[in-house]
Structure 1
């Protein structure tokens, strides 16, 4: 069972999102918050697998709450949920360590798929968000490619293999099956890769994998 904290300042939105999530028997909303400060407190007390946070909330907005959650409850993956698709929100969410970014206007199936992906150790961006990220990466690709290749030069061959599969969107379990190793070993490799590349999360590592040419 995947345990979820749902935070949104609009009760009707929370009710609708909760109904979508709990239509999947593997998902359970264990706590709801109406503002960012309450979301952080509930995450610390309930230890959910995933925190689904609206970006615009009172007392503490979703981005600030996400940043605090990454420090106070590092075992909880953070997914941002918003009606806004502006590039600055996307960049900030990824920079603070969010593992997913979903739009409220998206397909409900994206919401369920995103929660499963993030809970499984992968990253997930809604298709519209992914298009924006790719568009941002398209300019100056050659220069960034050279920088990315330099950044991965210190990785071992096995770490590069793991990074390539991570960049392809695989979860830890999927990488373990692909490389015929145990999932705990994959987690250790991913942790080492994030440290060596000096990035905060899998999304940033995946971007480097793409820029370095490890992923088609």
Structure 2
């Protein structure tokens, strides 16, 4: 089976780099594009055919709900995981109505993201959001940008440094 192709959309460069690194480490998907704006996403979608977009709902200069609806019109078979730092039931409901497959908090465990990527790619139907089902086990990115993940430790001092058997990734 081919690895799912992913585009990451987030205006936080550190988050994009960290998420790209983690997807590479998981080796279950391939990041084919990264961007910080909705306009660039639409341009990427005209050239690339991702299976999945992981997108921050709060990107500048565009309404996240409208952007995700437009993206799905360009590629209706694509899945979308919407991520954010806040929980708002009304906004989440709007995202689900336009066809977003899953909603996650940025504080959601990496393990849950890995499971969601796999589940979404194996399913023809969308996974519906249940706010009570979110289980925050470890933080993806906390204030000090630390997270637990397997046997790796990532440090970002302008360059990534990978240390095995440390049990924590620090970005």
Q: Same fold (TM over 0.5)?
A: yes
The runs of at least 4 aligned residues of structure 1 exceeding 3 Å deviation read: 122-126
| Residue 189 of structure 1: aligned partner | none
| Residue 121 of structure 2: aligned partner | 119
Structure 2 residue corresponding to 1:89, chosen from 71, 91, 104? 91
Inter-CA distance 132–90: structure 2 relative to 1 (3 Å threshold)? farther
How far 1:125 moved relative to its partner? 5.7
- Secondary structure, counterpart of 1:63 in structure 2: helix
More helix, by proportion: 1
Larger Rg, first or second structure (1 or 2): 1
| Residue 100 of structure 1: aligned partner | 102
- Secondary structure, counterpart of 2:83 in structure 1: strand
How far 1:64 moved relative to its partner? 1.8
| Residue 23 of structure 2: aligned partner | 21
- Secondary structure, counterpart of 1:123 in structure 2: coil
How far 1:132 moved relative to its partner? 7.6
Give the length in aligned residue pairs: 131
| Residue 37 of structure 2: aligned partner | 35
| Residue 6 of structure 2: aligned partner | 4
> In structure 2, what is the Cα distance between the partners aligned to 1:101 and 1:40?
20
> In structure 1, what is the Cα distance between the partners aligned to 2:63 and 2:115?
25
CA RMSD of aligned residues (A): 1.9
Q: Deviations over 1:5-48 (max 9, x none)?
A: 00001101111111222222121110001111211221231100
TM-score, normalising length: structure 1:
0.56
More strand, by proportion: 2
Inter-CA distance 82–109: structure 2 relative to 1 (3 Å threshold)? same
Q: Deviations over 1:75-124 (max 9, x none)?
A: 21111011111111210110111111111001011111111111222434
CA contact (8 A) 2:56 2:83 kept: yes
Q: Deviations over 1:46-94 (max 9, x none)?
A: 1000011110112323322110011111121111011111111210110
Query: Which deviates more, 20-29 or 4-13?
Result: 20-29
| Residue 132 of structure 2: aligned partner | 131
